[in-house]
Structure 1
Amino acid sequence: MGTFGAIGIAGTGLTVYRKWLDAVSDNLANMNTVSSTDEAAFQAKYVVAQASNDGNDTDDGAGVQVRGIALGSAEGRLTYEPDHPLADADGYVRYPDIDMASQMTQLIMAQRGYQANAAIVDRARETYQAALQIGRS
């Protein structure tokens, strides 16, 4: 694997971690979204990643890609809030079943992964520039 291979592989990691960060931020932004009991709650989004190999069976280290987005439960959790405008006859509303602690943990993991891949791209770029300087001498 050359310098450009490292940049390409780290670039795929950046894409996956960016999408993970987007999903977590969307979950956190909607964790207090209220719906009536006859509607589905906001469904948390979870990024599903898989290894990719660019169609070359001999190269099993060609990065990662987003396979899809898995959705959390639409049931959510029922909360008793009789004064809420969306409350049913029994006084219940539906909130998404999103745990802030879990989402913050995922946020930190995705952020650190993104930073690590960005550092790899930066170091590979520096290596390539150093090689160009050697070639000019």
Structure 2
Amino acid sequence: MADDAGDFARTMGIATSGLRAQSGRMRVISENIANVDSTAQTAGGDPYRRKVPTFTSTLDRTLDARTVALGRIKPDTSSFLVKYEPTNPAADATGHVKYPNVNSVIEMADMRNAQRSYEANLNVISATRRMIQRTLDILKA
């Protein structure tokens, strides 16, 4: 029975690490979406650069299990979108304005993927809680 309790704790810990990682991923994606139309603060400057979340896998010695965490947030090095807008305050000397390298369609697809992963981890936690409750109910009977 003690081993079952350890399995339950391990399952909850792994799923909780997934919740934290996906929550961080959604935060980064939200920041990208919020800056999709931003321009540079100075004429000819670079605008917001899309950020790409990464994940790391680590051994949680307490749980004796591999867990996931949000890793480094890396800049997307793809090119900025450039538009000819000579009246824009952010335009360079040739009248071109750089816009972020954020594609809202990609960001929304990534957000949906992150939400599904978050929900899957939440379902694991809910199922584990139900199993713990059923185990306690059996022990009480």
TM-score range with shorter-chain normalisation? 0.7 to 0.9
Partner of residue 136 from structure 1, selected from 117, 135, 140 = 140
- Work out the CA distance in 1 between the residues paired with 2:56 and 2:90: 40
Q: Does the Cα contact within 8 Å between 1:37 and 1:78 map onto a contact in 2?
A: no
Give the direction of change, closer, same or farther, for the CA distance of 1:60–1:8 in structure 2 (3 Å limit). Answer: closer
Is residue 62 from structure 1 mapped to residue 66 from structure 2 by the alignment? yes
Q: Does the Cα contact within 8 Å between 2:44 and 2:91 map onto a contact in 1?
A: no
**Count of paired positions:** 135
Cα offsets for 1:39-87 (capped at 9, x unmatched): 222111111102111248xx88422112211112385222111121222
Partner of residue 90 from structure 1, selected from 69, 89, 94 = 94
Q: Secondary structure at the match of 2:137?
A: helix
- Tell me how far 1:92 sits from its aligned partner: 1.2
Q: Which runs of 4+ in 1 moved over 3 A?
A: none
Q: Secondary structure at the match of 1:106?
A: helix
**Which ranges of structure 2 fall in alignment gaps of 5 or more residues?**
1-5
Match of 1:72 in 2: 76
Match of 1:27 in 2: 32
- Work out the CA distance in 1 between the residues paired with 2:64 and 2:79: 40
Partner of residue 51 from structure 1, selected from 50, 57, 79 = 57
Q: Secondary structure at the match of 1:93?
A: strand
- Work out the CA distance in 2 between the residues paired with 1:62 and 1:128: 22
Match of 1:3 in 2: 8
Q: Does the Cα contact within 8 Å between 1:42 and 1:76 map onto a contact in 2?
A: no
- Tell me how far 1:24 sits from its aligned partner: 0.7
Q: Does the Cα contact within 8 Å between 1:21 and 1:110 map onto a contact in 2?
A: yes
Identity, % of aligned pairs? 27
- Tell me how far 1:134 sits from its aligned partner: 1.2
- Tell me how far 1:88 sits from its aligned partner: 2.3
**Which ranges of structure 1 fall in alignment gaps of 5 or more residues?**
none
Cα offsets for 1:75-104 (capped at 9, x unmatched): 522211112122223211111111122111
- Work out the CA distance in 1 between the residues paired with 2:65 and 2:100: 38
Q: Secondary structure at the match of 1:63?
A: strand
Q: Secondary structure at the match of 2:66?
A: coil
